[in-house]
Structure 1
Amino acid sequence: MPRLGLSNWFLAACLALLCGACASLPPPAPHAAETAWASPQATALGQWVARRRAADPSPRDSGFLLLGAEHAAFAARLALVQQAQRTLDLQYYAIHADATTEVLLEALRGAARRGVRVRILLDDFNTVGRDAQVLRLAFEPNVQLRLFNPLPGSRDSLVGRLLMSLRDLPLAGKRMHNKLFIADNAAAVAGGRNLGDAYFGADGKSNFVDLDVLAAGGVVRDLSASFDRYWNDELAYPVQSLISRADLETLRREAASAAAPADRPRPAGESLPQAAAPQAARPAASAAVLQVAASVLPGMTRTAVVSARMPPLDLDSVPLTWAPAAVLADAPGKIGPDDDEANAGDTVVDGLLQLMGQARQDVLVVTPYFIPGRSVMQTFADLRARGVRVRVLTNSLASNDAIAAHAGYARHRAALLALGVELYEMRAAPGEAGVSLGGSARGGLGSAGGGSKSGAPHASLHSKALVVDGRSVVIGSMNLDLRSQRKNSEVALLVRSAVLARGVQSRVEGVLASNAYRVLATPGGLLWKAPPGAAFGDSREEPLAGARLRALAALVAPFAPDELL
């Protein structure tokens, strides 16, 4: 999750001393309660689930497919849009206006035009600047778009909106971090990815190493129920109550006039004209989406990708693992206006701690932002006292996109190592085989590519997963930090399957063995130990982080209390 830097919060606070005016939101707009499609079995996706379920000897009613590689994650979402007949429900922390989103939104627009009800619930934090243009979709027929916990003020810049929110910064700091993509209440994608180039391997500068899961069958009903709770909450504002089409057009013109002619991509929320521009005029990043042409979407052409006219995914050939599962979902009240933890109830992170507490042999944690509070430290201490192995993969300083978050983690490293927790930090530069949580292309889990060549994208861990005893796995939107525990809302899938758990574990261990440092406490201080046979070596200081970055992290640390990160 991209986080607001402390510098932006500091700037907003300074500006507040010079400006006493604060904008305000309109009162919550009343709207009739809406729910997910009630008869998924009557749709093509529902019938697909029934066929696949009947062909498997397992008695379970929920099937799963890991989506580690970027092209597989993109293709799965696109396939759900193509196959949907009744409803598409999307819930996201961020939807960025870029090349991959252009394709997905164009496909959503096409689904709406053929009669599919499209509901998009988006956290309001990132809907500024160019990314505000995705809100244009709200003015399409058969599409509803609501913003959760909106911030007042202009959408020109994030700092300006924060300035207007200073009257209630605690509420502004509570964000809907859930990530769901649901079709016909029959199939869904859940996990760590937002929608944008960096999450689908299409950003030339930086890519997030992420993990999703395609879910089918009974557990999707529970995911839809969680979506409906947020959709019908009073903090979900229809876009039209906050911004008009004319406002968006003004923002678009201002952004276009500020850009050089060669750098003016069409906003992702703006409809394509009938005569589309030549392919060469489109953002170069779109080419990366063509990786889905391999075996996931047979026969796909470049024209089909750009125009979002995709052939349907051969769902009957996709391997599914059938297993018992449960949805872990925070209540909307967790990020409501009251600062009462009782409104949150049992949280997703509480569920993770309970699951870890049941471990007998091994706990593997994957979290990009790792700031353990007292409850996490106590859980780890109890596990180690019982001889349970605890391993954590997180970002290094160089791979972390939030310096303050790394500073919060770094202050706990010595205590974690003293407990016997094995700490691994991902290397910012891709390894020789690329950084990926993927596997075989046949299952839509191909390699992420990239390599260590000059100009390769900067890699940053964004996956959120927990594996317990090689038998249970949790994949979702949560980090193991105080923000996910207390301030953000989260959603995750808990699947009790040795096949799925070992699949995640083997992929993570592949990263540990090729592209992560193990942090060790030595008499001479911390040592970042490279994997055996790696092309890179050990380090006595934060690896790949220059002196300026290390100095900045040290400067920020005293002003970055754990509870604010």
Structure 2
Amino acid sequence: MTPWQRLLAVALALACSACSGLSALQREQAARVALDARSQQIDCDGPDACARPSPLLELGARANAESAPGAPRHYALLLEYGQDAMLARLDMIRGATRTIDLQTYIFDEDDAGHLFLDELVAAARRGVRVRLLVDQLSALREVDTLAALSATHANFEMRIYNPLLGRARINYPMYALAAACCWRRLNQRMHSKLLLVDGSVAVTGGRNYQDDYYDWNPTFNFRDRDVLVAGPETVEMAANFDAFWDARLSVPVEQLSDVGRRLLRQGAPALPHQPFDDPHRVEAISRNADDADLVRTRLADAAIPVGTVEFIGDLPSKHRSDRERAREAVLASPGLKSLIESARHEVLLQTPYLVLSPPARELFARLQQRDEPPRIIVSTNSLAATDSFITYALSYKYKRRYLRDYGFQMHEYKPFPEDAPFDLDATGAVGISWNTDGTVNIVEPLRDESAAGRSRRNLPLERENAALRYAGVGVNRRVPLQRAGMRVGLHAKSMVVDGRVGVVGTHNFDPRGDNYNTESAVIIEDPVFAQALADSIRRDIAPANAWAIARRDKPPVFSGLAYSMGKLSEHLPVFDFWPTRYATSYEFQPGPDCPEPLPPSDPGFRACYQPVGDFPEVNLGWRSLLTRIFTAFGAGLSPIL
């Protein structure tokens, strides 16, 4: 046996010993330890669980009061800024009087994660029933934290979705074992996201519970989007959450082997909580959440009154082994595809990961075969902005197909957008102070790098890609850039059809969402809401924030041969090493003759746009080579990206 084989055998042996499950008796004993440790004390003597006035929850009461049979009333609020998304969640949690149901893919132990945990536990202690459901692969990092939460309070329950090997947390050898024995189940993840308070107001969209989604990361933040919905459709959202909560794959955290053993050996620990990396920022958002007037003027007053709202959400039975029953539980993908197919004039599509499933490719091909096909405008990530360069490599491979066969007008998000909805001062990337005359001071802050790096010690938790969680060779790290700065990556998943229907949800419009992940979305047919969402996406594709993607200039000789060879190479599942790609990135050059941006189909496009290369802003090196390698050999990965 070679040294590598011995090392593998030892790793697998350790993995197997570590993942051996609890007996029925041990599960019962662990559950008893947690149950006995749970506090019964309620910190509130007043009515309504001592909830603070919540302008956002008031929207729910107002919408239900204004609704009538056959004539529902809803209020919808787009949450574009990370700090607004956090403020809305804190307002809702502090205003809860009866129930809080929270479902998410990633729940980290950084400042944002610990702040939300503090708020959820505080709500439970004042008498609110709290249910927290998290997918296993991106649940909280520490077993001690999970053990403490299992025993924190009688009003607080936590479950883990689809726990591979019967554990809450798995390491690399366990992951390798799970990949070898249970590949399909490994990829079946709960990507659905929902915060529902008192059954009347809900938030769903792209955001997880991690600094990166709330403008709290000094080096990288997601440009994301949620929608808050108040009104009777929250009944459907509640039913969807209950289906997941009651599903066979949702396991109480204390019944998992690693958490259960911790409880049996050492009892229930106190809830661990390291000091916040930036306590001043936490105090500031906490004060704002207590300011009802601020929440009302900044958020509640901006809510749009709409009529019918439709929530479509996959069911957990999508992950059943019975394929026929599983297909019946797939609701999000067919609903979104039906909307796209209904388009007559324009589809405005925003996805961070542009890898299309075969049914999606067929759909867009059919649209282009119409006598008057609709415009398909796509907002997605550039290589410089993405957090998944393998996914980008596949998108890069098929750009000719997207542009020529499907008629896409593509725009790729820049890593340093000039007009993006994020709060620079909240990121901690710079220090901002205001002078009495209204001018601003911007300085580089002094940061405790050891503290700032605490929440980055285990990078794979950041990823929303189960299959490549431990893929190595730096695939979970963003590409190096030519200049430093706080970069932004697109993570919003939204769509507007014909300026009449707006969609915000969790679906990346990709094969994972079709086949593996559970997904959900809110569909609102209202011209005012659709226009607000369209304006937001168009802001993201403006020249200040995105590069236009278009056919590169034809070579002076053998242009037909170059095109044919590139097309042939693109269709090969491997060996796609043709050096010249069909498309490249363009930067708008405004001037007297170019006052406004133009689509690539406009005859004046090339006079107003300058090519800036296939991977602008990227510090070309081995990552560029890896991108081309995955372009050549990665087509087989597309179903799981």
Q: TM-score range by the shorter chain?
A: 0.7 to 0.9
Deviation by residue 1:468-502 (Cα, 9 ceiling, x = unmatched): 01110111111111001000001111111111111
Deviation of 1:331 after TM superposition, in Å, equals 1.5
Q: Is residue 398–residue 543 contact of structure 1 (8 Å, CA) maintained in 2? A: yes
Q: Is residue 82–residue 423 contact of structure 2 (8 Å, CA) maintained in 1? A: no
Structure 1 counterpart of 2:80, one-letter code = G
Aligned ranges for residues 403-482 of structure 1 at < 5 Å?
403-419=389-405, 420-428=407-415, 430-435=416-421, 456-482=485-511
SS at match of 1:201: coil
Q: Is residue 75–residue 303 contact of structure 2 (8 Å, CA) maintained in 1? A: no
Provide the C-alpha distance between the structure 2 equivalents of 1:330 and 1:509, rounded to a whole number of angstroms.
29
Tell me what 2:281 maps to: 287
Tell me what 1:259 maps to: none
Greater Rg over alpha carbons, structure: 2
Q: Is residue 297–residue 313 contact of structure 1 (8 Å, CA) maintained in 2? A: no
Tell me what 2:567 maps to: none
Provide the C-alpha distance between the structure 2 equivalents of 1:287 and 1:18, rounded to a whole number of angstroms.
42
From the superposition, tell whether residues 375 and 318 of structure 1 become closer, same or farther in structure 2 (CA, over 3 Å).
Answer: same
Q: Is residue 203–residue 226 contact of structure 2 (8 Å, CA) maintained in 1? A: yes
Tell me what 1:494 maps to: 523
SS at match of 2:182: helix
Deviation of 1:549 after TM superposition, in Å, equals 1.6
From the superposition, tell whether residues 398 and 452 of structure 1 become closer, same or farther in structure 2 (CA, over 3 Å).
Answer: farther
Provide the C-alpha distance between the structure 1 equivalents of 2:443 and 2:64, rounded to a whole number of angstroms.
42
Deviation of 1:339 after TM superposition, in Å, equals 5.3
From the superposition, tell whether residues 187 and 291 of structure 1 become closer, same or farther in structure 2 (CA, over 3 Å).
Answer: same
Q: Is residue 520–residue 528 contact of structure 1 (8 Å, CA) maintained in 2? A: yes
SS at match of 2:613: coil
From the superposition, tell whether residues 271 and 468 of structure 1 become closer, same or farther in structure 2 (CA, over 3 Å).
Answer: same
Tell me what 1:239 maps to: 253
Q: Is residue 171–residue 336 contact of structure 1 (8 Å, CA) maintained in 2? A: no
2:164 to 111, 135, 151: 151
Q: Which 5+ residue runs of structure 2 have no aligned equivalent?
A: 32-47, 425-439, 445-482, 556-581, 591-596, 598-608
Which segment drifts farther, 146-155 or 191-200? 146-155
Q: Does 1:530 align with 2:531?
A: no
Provide the C-alpha distance between the structure 2 equivalents of 1:494 and 1:289, rounded to a whole number of angstroms.
35
Structure 1 counterpart of 2:61, one-letter code = A
SS at match of 2:588: coil
Q: Is residue 59–residue 230 contact of structure 2 (8 Å, CA) maintained in 1? A: no
Structure 1 counterpart of 2:12, one-letter code = C
Structure 2 counterpart of 1:219, one-letter code = E
Deviation by residue 1:109-150 (Cα, 9 ceiling, x = unmatched): 111001100001110012364587356323211111000000
Provide the C-alpha distance between the structure 1 equivalents of 2:283 and 2:90, rounded to a whole number of angstroms.
11
Q: Does 1:163 align with 2:147?
A: no
Structure 2 counterpart of 1:94, one-letter code = I
TM norm structure 2:
0.70
Deviation of 1:247 after TM superposition, in Å, equals 3.1
Deviation of 1:564 after TM superposition, in Å, equals 2.6
Deviation of 1:508 after TM superposition, in Å, equals 1.1
Q: Is residue 356–residue 468 contact of structure 1 (8 Å, CA) maintained in 2? A: yes
Q: Is residue 71–residue 201 contact of structure 1 (8 Å, CA) maintained in 2? A: yes
Structure 2 counterpart of 1:124, one-letter code = Q
Deviation of 1:54 after TM superposition, in Å, equals 5.4
1:543 to 616, 623, 634: 616
Deviation of 1:452 after TM superposition, in Å, equals 13
Deviation by residue 1:277-321 (Cα, 9 ceiling, x = unmatched): 9xxx63127627836867x76389xxxxxxxxxx98678645332
TM norm structure 1:
0.78
Tell me what 2:379 maps to: 393
Q: Is residue 332–residue 344 contact of structure 1 (8 Å, CA) maintained in 2? A: no
From the superposition, tell whether residues 560 and 133 of structure 1 become closer, same or farther in structure 2 (CA, over 3 Å).
Answer: farther
Deviation by residue 1:332-364 (Cα, 9 ceiling, x = unmatched): 111234555744544312211110000110001
Q: Is residue 205–residue 493 contact of structure 2 (8 Å, CA) maintained in 1? A: yes
CA RMSD in angstroms comes to 3.8
From the superposition, tell whether residues 539 and 353 of structure 1 become closer, same or farther in structure 2 (CA, over 3 Å).
Answer: same
Which segment drifts farther, 151-160 or 242-251? 242-251
In the alignment of these two chains, the number of paired residues is 497
Structure 2 counterpart of 1:530, one-letter code = E
Deviation of 1:366 after TM superposition, in Å, equals 0.6
Provide the C-alpha distance between the structure 1 equivalents of 2:98 and 2:295, rounded to a whole number of angstroms.
16
From the superposition, tell whether residues 195 and 286 of structure 1 become closer, same or farther in structure 2 (CA, over 3 Å).
Answer: farther
Provide the C-alpha distance between the structure 2 equivalents of 1:17 and 1:481, rounded to a whole number of angstroms.
37
Provide the C-alpha distance between the structure 1 equivalents of 2:397 and 2:177, rounded to a whole number of angstroms.
33
Q: Which 5+ residue runs of structure 1 have no aligned equivalent?
A: 1-10, 32-39, 252-266, 301-310, 439-448
From the superposition, tell whether residues 192 and 510 of structure 1 become closer, same or farther in structure 2 (CA, over 3 Å).
Answer: same
Q: Is residue 435–residue 515 contact of structure 1 (8 Å, CA) maintained in 2? A: no
From the superposition, tell whether residues 219 and 132 of structure 1 become closer, same or farther in structure 2 (CA, over 3 Å).
Answer: farther
Provide the C-alpha distance between the structure 2 equivalents of 1:103 and 1:18, rounded to a whole number of angstroms.
36
Aligned ranges for residues 161-240 of structure 1 at < 5 Å?
161-165=174-178, 166-240=180-254
Q: Is residue 15–residue 163 contact of structure 1 (8 Å, CA) maintained in 2? A: no
Tell me what 1:564 maps to: 640
Deviation of 1:102 after TM superposition, in Å, equals 1.6
Which segment drifts farther, 73-82 or 370-379? 370-379
From the superposition, tell whether residues 409 and 455 of structure 1 become closer, same or farther in structure 2 (CA, over 3 Å).
Answer: closer
Provide the C-alpha distance between the structure 2 equivalents of 1:183 and 1:364, rounded to a whole number of angstroms.
31
Provide the C-alpha distance between the structure 2 equivalents of 1:472 and 1:520, rounded to a whole number of angstroms.
28
